[in-house]
Structure 1
Amino acid sequence: MLRYFVFFLLICFYLQSSAQKSYSIKGFIKNEINPQMSISGPLKNGNYVYLEYLSGKVDSSIIKDNRFFFEGSIANPEPASLNHAHGGATILLSYESNFEVEFILNSPESGLYEYLSNVNSDSFFYNTWLKVGNRSHSLVKKRSELQNLNQQSINIESKNEIEVINKLLDNLYSSIIKNNQLINIEKAYILMSDPNFSNEKYKSFFDELSTTEKETKIGSLFKKKLENFS
């Protein structure tokens, strides 16, 4: 009896672990501006959408009733791209993550069509990456404008503003290291986007990763980037 009870507990633990590392992607094809496109293309029922992982794995889902769907589990958080014949979108797969993705038909001019993407997710990893990326892009753009201005004339004020922006960037990425809602692999992926990335700045972070974390795809990319800056 005890043996069966232990076996039952192991099964429950396995199912719980699998659920915690699962993801799902619900996709919608929005051809409202020209409903005929759902039948005659460019992205129509019967076509495929592909989920391409950073590790090289590829899954596919057929479009049916203007919808597609993916679900599965991951050993580690991993960037992936949803691709179709006319575009796609980037997502970051994480444990217990759910995505809703819309590919929206757009016509910038008569006879010309394209698909815009709209991604919504409950993934803290994905949403943090998006938020940090947008903030970083804004700061780097402002810094570039000041640097161009500074090249035209010696401007002490603009130099001081550049220093402030660099400090803001450092604080932005330092907050990622301190964020307890992200696991180390997720932190590593976001940190690689730091425009002030350097070996000196992040070697200690990498050294503190476990051997298993270092051997993941993200861990390997982080190590390679450190080597490029050494």
Structure 2
Amino acid sequence: MKNEAPAPTPRPSGASDAGGTPRLSGSREDMTLKDPKDFRIIGKPIPGVDNPKIVTGQKLFGIDVTMPGMVYAVFQKCPVFGGTVNSANIDQIKKQPGVIDAFIVRARDANPGSDPQGASDGVAIVAKNWWLADRAREKLQVSWDEGPFATQSSDGFAKEAARLAQENPASYLRRDGDVAIALARISHSSRRPSAVLQFLESLQVLTSPRHVTGWMGRKTDCFLPLLHRTAVGR
């Protein structure tokens, strides 16, 4: 098999399915690695196709969409998942420069099905432009009910993981051999492997900021980036 633009091209000994994904036949010994001098991508400077537009500030992303008479909103939600709003200084926020409206959003009304990807409690601020809306948010004071998840932490998750690691697995995705028996055989041996691997979780929202532009008439058209199409129906 050789992999060249625009799509993988199978040699007679291989085949390609309808989606263009190559299926290899034969053993590893039958394969010849490409000579580094023939590399087309690895070690080569490959510019992004959108780089010129990005560095020159051209409209390219969903957040760049504008409509006639458009206003802008920011939404402040609880720093703890599932938290709710007790109260907020809504009247003071409404007096901030450029603010058109401010109001509390209740998840029980906006998201009655409790969809984890749906709306949560928070405060919405609508203004003439995004800058003024964000400046008003800096003056926002919210009393939150952080709920039952307020006591959770990364340290707590790590301790719980360490505890569960000492118990029998709840289920198996795949099981080859018997690990318990193998470890028992070397329980008193210095060769017994022992290690704890950890990795830090990263908030995807930091790299994929949520934004949507809505055009409201007899129906509402929304312009927004999506990572999966299943959310469209919501």
Same fold (TM > 0.5): no
**Structure 1 length-normalised TM:** 0.20
Larger Rg: 2
The structure with the greater share of residues assigned to strand is 1
**Structure 2 length-normalised TM:** 0.20
The structure with the greater share of residues assigned to helix is 1
